[in-house]
Amino acid sequence: MSRFDDLFAAAGAARANAHACYSGFAVGAAILTRDGNIFAGCNVENASFPEGWCAETSALGAMVSAGGRPGDVVEVVVTADAVLCTPCGGCRQRLAEFASDETPVHVCDTKGLRQTLTLAELLPARFVLKDEDRNR
């Protein structure tokens, strides 16, 4: 299996566990870190709708809980039962905290790859607190 296949499988397995009882729209995400670890997450909805978690946020939370830090994310897969389910604006900014502008984000439906974009293409004017963080 390729690195993409491993990420796609991890995202799909996480998606299968999504708690999407309100929207019925399950999403899975997987991130690859520079040390070769894969962290996956799914969306977790809540009756207080703004308090739910996106799949990308869940995957990043798992990575950080395991010791991951800014700059560790080198590749991302997002999968849903939609032609193009790109990360939401909040997740784009969260990913930008832990990845570089060149990090590939693969957008997939349940059958496979639909499109690959860089993080810079998804979030061209990301928010940064320090100039030295702009292009890490």
- Catalytic site residues? 56
C-alpha distance across the termini of the chain, in Å: 29
In whole angstroms, give the CA distance from residue 59 to residue 47: 21
Query: Which alpha helices (DSSP H) does 1-136 contain, by range?
Result: 3-15, 55-65, 89-98, 119-122
Sheet containing 104-109: give its strands across. Answer: 38-42, 27-33, 73-80, 104-109, 112-118
Instruction: Check: CB of residue 55 under 8 Å from CB of residue 87.
Output: no
